[in-house]
Amino acid sequence: MPHWVPAPEAFVWWTGIAELLGAAALAQPWSVNLRKAGAIGLALYAVCVFPANINHFAMDMAREDGGLGLAYHLPRMVAQPVLVWLALWVGGVTDWPRRRRS
């Protein structure tokens, strides 16, 4: 967690709650609008935590022992945009790269 984030434990707890609510919104079948809202929320969340992931990468790699290493960090960095797209696709916000049939 970057040092400038106030109350890091509370921040982690509340973002975990937000992730669970987003997942629940995506999983429910009866409201397209709720699914789309959950998808957009999860996508925004993934975009917002990306700087924290970069911070973790930089701090971890700067350790004397090399931390968790590139084998851990690089797939995580590459997966972040995929997670944004996946949330939007599952929620029906986008149909890229191929159109869904109606």
Has residue 102 been placed in a domain? no
Has residue 3 been placed in a domain? no
Q: How many domains does the chain have?
A: 1
Contact criterion met (CB below 8 Å) for 81 and 72: no
Q: Give, for 21, the enclosing helix (H) or strand (E).
A: helix 8-27
Measured between alpha carbons, how far is 66 from 60 in angstroms, rounded to an integer? 7
- List pLDDT tens digits, range 2-43: 677 789 899 889 989 999 999 999 998 889 999 999 999 999
Has residue 95 been placed in a domain? no
- List pLDDT tens digits, range 49-94: 888 888 888 888 888 888 888 888 888 889 999 999 999 999 999 9
Has residue 100 been placed in a domain? no
Has residue 36 been placed in a domain? yes
Write out the residue range of the structural domain in which residue 16 sits.
8-90
Contacts of 32 (CB under 8 A, 6+ apart): 92
Contacts of 55 (CB under 8 A, 6+ apart): 1, 2
Has residue 52 been placed in a domain? yes
- The tokens describing 17, both together, are 């709650």
Indicate yes or no: pTM above 0.95.
Answer: no
Has residue 28 been placed in a domain? yes
Has residue 98 been placed in a domain? no
